[in-house]
Structure 1
Amino acid sequence: MIIKSKLSIAVFCLAFSAVSAQVKDTLAEKMMIYQLPNGGWGKHMSDKKDVDYRKKIDPKLLKIIKANDNNLATIDNNATSREINGLIKAYGTTKNPAYLKSAEKGIEYLLSMQYENGGFPQYFPNTSVYRKQVTYNDNAMINVLTILYNISEGKEGFDAVNSQLKDKSKVALQKGIACVLKTQVQQKGKLSIWADQYNEVTLVPEKARAFEPMSLATGESVNIVKFLMMQPLTPEIEKSIRSAIQWFKESKIDGYTYNVSKESDKAVRTLSKKEGSAVWARFYDIPTNKPVFGDRDGSVKFNYEDVSEERRMGYSWYNESGTKLIENEFPKWLKRNKLMQ
């Protein structure tokens, strides 16, 4: 009787496990449907708007995916990293093996696109215009490196990833960190912060779209520093972080704030005075360290008011992200590593 009871419990557990493995997550199901043959994901729907997994499946986009258009695969605008993170999270909740398999295919795609110098292009295999550049813009490369870090450390549910991918991710992570340290821009022999994008061979900063001139990028650099703060302390990493923090301190614009509001479904961006507040321009000219602004026609301006209204309202030209980095993140990092100010 006891034997039968134990057997019944075992059978029930197996049956329950089988059912649990097939539990479905609506968002994860859509992510799998939109995954391209090479394992990556595109960033746009057929109407050129960012993919929104809360909406119904887009038949036009499905036709593109079925056409095996791998050139759409990108890490821009959180594409591919968002899906991998989402699928890993869904697997953790449902234990549906299909989600883990899809995420691992996405990770394999990320590993396949890394350059030998450790950098990651914005698109792969699409190499047209600026898509082949090593890209920090919109946190593209840092999003990828964060995934590789989580795989290597077994964090955020990535402990479920197979051991072969873990080993490859550890190697790719170290190559990526080396690239980050190598691409920190020097100004007159002094380390500053990072540019938006770099030549994939020479690792020299380059321009991208017409309104994205070759320049230092503050918002992306804040996240690069935060990523470096997650890594084991080395003399190179300490020097990199301290140098970037010093640059942010010296380059802030005191007494201003930057607000974004909406009027009639249009973004209204306003730079205004505010005592006790500070902002940084999105871009800084590398030789002069002056705020720089690119316009739709490819021209470069050094005065915000000279930028066309369409670009002033259509792009975020200032941010306040350096404040938290300097006042909160940096002191915590110093304390955690028992370092002096």
Structure 2
Amino acid sequence: MSNTLIAVLAALMSLLPLSAVAAESDADKQEWAAWYQRSVELRRLDQRAMARELAQAGRQVPIKPVPHDKFGFDPDQPVGFYSTDAGRRVADIVLSYQTPSGGWSKRVDMSSHFRRRGEAFGLSKGYQPTFDNYATSTQMHVLARAYAATGEDKYRAAFRRALDLILDAQMPNGGWPQSYPLDGGYHNLITYNDKSQVNLLELLRPVVEASAPYDLATAEQRNRAANALIRGVQCLLITQVVIGGELTIWGAQHDPFTLAPAAARAFEPAALASQESAEILLFLMDLPQPPAAVVQAVEAAMRWFRARQLAGVRWDKLKGELVNDESAKPHWARFYDPVSQEPVFGDRDGAVYTQVSQVSLERRLGYGWYSTAPAKLEKAFTAWKQTLAQKP
């Protein structure tokens, strides 16, 4: 562990606890206004660049990119891969899909061809760019390795531009929206869904430590990243939901101002979210020398998970129901009511039910209402407690 990261965590200890309400003072309001204005500027940058491309190409409507859920390339290739022709091609195609604002869209094939003049950066008007579905963070991992392999400045410059976007996108309260420049609606909420914020924090940590291959940020960016890492962890701590005086877990999204869990799509209600909370816990348990507030957060969340695990059943995706299975891993519902802490299930019409059988067949079969994802916490928690016990 680097001295820089130790200093960051020490600063985190000194700054806790934070107020649970954002934008209370004039200074706070000015900070939020500046954050929003930066989004407007970046959106205009993207729009003007596309308008120029369309004019040059003689088109009225952008070309649609080729869809791909996982970008079309292996994001875990080692540094050495990017010294090959195949690796350079992947890195250069990734470069071609970087928005002028600095990020990338989701569900786009970035392996088959270079982005053409007038080709949209994403498949929809929203999510251009986004942090959803591992977008932007995945491409930054590629660029860091490509620069380490080749030393070509174009990869470093693109990484730095993306890092600036991430740092600009962080809310004054420490959270990140799903997309920035802002798209509106639930995309503007603090987003833990699909590991969105955790991915960004996991990326910032080696930047702060200047660990290869992430040692390509400027000194100023590293300082900003250290501050962002502190505030990002603070955000996790102040959004952990308290019910009846007890810390529980987190929502998939949180309101930026009240910090309460918030709804997203019609079938995703404002609720406690087990899958996202499990990822947050794994991140918190990976922090070295955690301050007392982090320890408290982890232990409380683990108590919550242990109290709600279901044994002897599994979620049958083909039937859209729980079935008996004594050999199955423990299961948890996807969502829990933020008051009663009982499982809840949403539908496309916005209705929220207490039984999954009440949900339409299309949504029962098309969404993972139960999950085993939190089962991996037990082993990690045991190892974490042993590590804490060894600390002086």
In the superposition, the TM-score normalised over structure 2's length comes to 0.73
Q: 1:289 and 1:92 mapped to 2: Cα distance?
A: 48
Q: Which position in structure 1 is the counterpart of 2:310? A: 253
Q: Which position in structure 2 is the counterpart of 1:81? A: 137
| 1:172 Cα deviation from its structure 2 partner | 0.5
Q: Which has the higher contact order (CA 8 A, sep 6+)?
A: 2
The 5 A counterparts of 1:211-290 are: 211-231=267-287, 232-258=289-315, 260=317, 271-276=322-327, 277-290=329-342
Q: Give the percent of matched residue pairs that are identical in Structure 1 and Structure 2.
A: 34
In the alignment, residue 250 of structure 1 is paired with which amino acid? A
Q: How big is each residue's C-alpha offset from its partner over 1:82-139, in whole Å with a ceiling of 9 and x where there is no partner? A: 1111211222233332112111111110000111110111111224111111110111
In the alignment, residue 337 of structure 1 is paired with which amino acid? L
Report if aligned partners of 1:74, 1:80 keep a CA contact under 8 Å in 2: yes
Q: Which position in structure 2 is the counterpart of 1:25? A: 88
Q: Which position in structure 2 is the counterpart of 1:174? A: 230
Q: Which position in structure 1 is the counterpart of 2:50? A: none
Change (3 A) 1:155 1:283: farther
SS of the residue 1:206 aligns to: coil
In the alignment, residue 301 of structure 1 is paired with which amino acid? Y
> When the two structures are aligned, how many residues end up with a matched partner?
305
| 1:52 Cα deviation from its structure 2 partner | 2.5
Change (3 A) 1:309 1:89: farther
In the alignment, residue 144 of structure 2 is paired with which amino acid? I
Question: Bigger CA drift: 109-118 or 121-130?
Answer: 121-130
SS of the residue 1:181 aligns to: helix
Q: Point out where structure 2 has 5 or more consecutive residues left out of the alignment.
A: 1-82
Report if aligned partners of 2:97, 2:115 keep a CA contact under 8 Å in 1: no
Q: 1:254 and 1:24 mapped to 2: Cα distance?
A: 45
Q: 1:193 aligns with which of 245, 249, 253?
A: 249
Q: 1:312 and 1:339 mapped to 2: Cα distance?
A: 46
Report if aligned partners of 1:257, 1:271 keep a CA contact under 8 Å in 2: yes
Q: 1:256 and 1:94 mapped to 2: Cα distance?
A: 51
Q: Which position in structure 1 is the counterpart of 2:380? A: 329
Does residue 1:318 correspond to 2:375, yes or no? no
Q: Which position in structure 2 is the counterpart of 1:130? A: 186
Q: 1:149 and 1:287 mapped to 2: Cα distance?
A: 34
Q: Which position in structure 2 is the counterpart of 1:121? A: 177
Does residue 1:40 correspond to 2:103, yes or no? yes
Does residue 1:95 correspond to 2:151, yes or no? yes
SS of the residue 2:138 aligns to: helix
Q: How big is each residue's C-alpha offset from its partner over 1:316-335, in whole Å with a ceiling of 9 and x where there is no partner? A: 11111221211x10011111
| 1:79 Cα deviation from its structure 2 partner | 1.0
Q: How big is each residue's C-alpha offset from its partner over 1:224-278, in whole Å with a ceiling of 9 and x where there is no partner? A: 01111122311100000000111100011111123557xxxxxx75632221531
Report if aligned partners of 1:31, 1:53 keep a CA contact under 8 Å in 2: yes
Q: Which position in structure 1 is the counterpart of 2:28? A: none
In the alignment, residue 205 of structure 1 is paired with which amino acid? P
| 1:310 Cα deviation from its structure 2 partner | 1.3
| 1:155 Cα deviation from its structure 2 partner | 3.4
Q: Which position in structure 1 is the counterpart of 2:76? A: none
| 1:142 Cα deviation from its structure 2 partner | 0.9
Q: Which position in structure 2 is the counterpart of 1:152? A: 208
In the alignment, residue 149 of structure 1 is paired with which amino acid? R
Change (3 A) 1:58 1:29: closer
Who wins on radius of gyration, i.e. which is larger? 1
In the alignment, residue 130 of structure 1 is paired with which amino acid? Y
Question: Bigger CA drift: 155-164 or 274-283?
Answer: 155-164
Q: Which position in structure 1 is the counterpart of 2:195? A: 139
Q: Which position in structure 2 is the counterpart of 1:9? A: none
Report if aligned partners of 2:310, 2:331 keep a CA contact under 8 Å in 1: yes
SS of the residue 1:338 aligns to: helix
Report if aligned partners of 1:252, 1:279 keep a CA contact under 8 Å in 2: yes
Q: 1:118 and 1:329 mapped to 2: Cα distance?
A: 26
In the alignment, residue 363 of structure 2 is paired with which amino acid? R
SS of the residue 2:326 aligns to: strand
| 1:59 Cα deviation from its structure 2 partner | 4.5
In the superposition, the TM-score normalised over structure 1's length comes to 0.83
CA RMSD of aligned residues (A): 2.4
Q: 1:51 aligns with which of 108, 113, 116?
A: 108
| 1:201 Cα deviation from its structure 2 partner | 1.9
Q: 1:260 and 1:64 mapped to 2: Cα distance?
A: 34
In the alignment, residue 364 of structure 2 is paired with which amino acid? R
SS of the residue 2:322 aligns to: strand
SS of the residue 1:271 aligns to: strand
Q: 2:320 and 2:160 mapped to 1: Cα distance?
A: 40
